Amino acid sequence: MTLYTRDLSVGYRRRGRPDKVLARALDLRLRPGELVGLLGPNGIGKSTLLRALGGAQPPLAGQVLLGQRDIARLRPQERARRLSLVTTAAPRPRLMSGYALVALGRHPHTDWLGRLTDADHAAIDWALNAVKGDELARQPVAELSDGQRQKLMIARALAQQSDVMLLDEPTAFLDLPRRIEIMALLKQLTRTTRIAILVSTHDLDLALRNCDRLWLMSRAGIKAGAPEDLALDGSLGATFRAEGLRFDPRRGSFTTDAASGARVYAPGESEQAIWLRRALTRAGYELAKKPGRIEISYQQNGVAPNWQLRVNARESRHATIEAALKTLERETR
């Protein structure tokens, strides 16, 4: 089932003042089997958009459609059968097992007492298995790590067997390996189940690597497309320029603007040269393509110290990259 928006405006109604519109006239489309990343600077309205898409907040104008039905007209239980949600903070209910937590995802399908049928149990087992969380079933949720609980929350959303899953910064509190794991998991789920997943995230790099499409949210609205197209046409860079982030289309990643921006020539394909260029980028220098005012290189044959730095014909030698960077900073200040 496809999630559409038709001329959707989202934001807040304010008493006695005009509405605060965060985005207007959106015509978006989230298709089955698609992993879409919602990217944009802080405070641009990603969460508000997700709440509107999930039916938790009425839109200022326009409609959100699931299949042919307006989501605002769906009864809560019907909506929950079609659409599931995962938010940033995984709750920590006490005296509840992982299995019971995932079982809550069956609520839209069970009777008034929440009794589980064999089909419900099968769905719960499948969901636990899909997030590789089988061993979490027996454990008390309150004693699990943030990452484990978030995996269970995703399993709970899967157990809902919805057509669409919305995730609002699900990895914000997790460490890097867990973020990589969860993004890969989401991608795999879209492939195996045909579920449509929309995930808002600040992990630009992971989104670029995993998402089928991106929705770039900025003051101008939302620009949708394949990550690669958005990188090539400059949209990615434009979206985050305001946040002090610079997108480097050649490297496919973002750097901060904080640095002096001096251009440094650091040639070579050796291991040392690659790590040297990483260090320069990290410190905020731009890499020059041709020899220029500043140059650093690694002298393999020379006597130690090996890192040779030349700034305006003034040469110095350093034992470590760290020392070379320090001198470079002093010289270019």
Residues in touch with other proteins (CB under 8 A): 54, 56, 76-81, 83-85, 87, 91-101, 103-108, 110, 112-118, 120-121, 124, 137-138, 140, 142-143, 160
Nearer to other proteins, 86 or 309 (CB): 86
Match 């809902």 to its residue by tokens: 160
Q: How far is the CB of 63 from other proteins (least distance, A)?
A: 19
Nearer to other proteins, 87 or 193 (CB): 87
In the chain, the largest separation of any two C-alpha atoms, in whole Å, equals 81
β strands within the chain, DSSP E: 3-12, 20-26, 29-30, 35-39, 61-66, 69-70, 83-86, 164-168, 196-200, 213-218, 221-225, 245-248, 253-256, 263-264, 286-287, 294-298, 307-311, 314-318
Picking from 223, 200, 203, the residue whose alpha carbon sits closest to that of residue 28 is: 223
Q: How far is the CB of 151 from other proteins (least distance, A)?
A: 15
Q: How far is the CB of 7 from other proteins (least distance, A)?
A: 25
Q: How far is the CB of 14 from other proteins (least distance, A)?
A: 14
SS3 state of residue 20: strand
Match 């020059």 to its residue by tokens: 288
Q: Could you check whether the bond before residue 18 is cis, i.e. omega within 30 degrees of 0?
A: no
Contact between 172 and 86 (Cβ < 8 Å): no
Nearer to other proteins, 107 or 178 (CB): 107
Cα 320 to Cα 327: distance, rounded to the nearest angstrom: 11
Q: How far is the CB of 99 from other proteins (least distance, A)?
A: 5
The two structure tokens encoding residue 202: 């600040």
Cα 279 to Cα 271: distance, rounded to the nearest angstrom: 12
Nearer to other proteins, 165 or 325 (CB): 165
Nearer to other proteins, 160 or 297 (CB): 160
Nearer to other proteins, 9 or 87 (CB): 87
Nearer to other proteins, 22 or 103 (CB): 103
Strand pairing class (307-311; 314-318): antiparallel
Q: How far is the CB of 43 from other proteins (least distance, A)?
A: 19
Contact between 295 and 310 (Cβ < 8 Å): yes
Q: How far is the CB of 144 from other proteins (least distance, A)?
A: 10
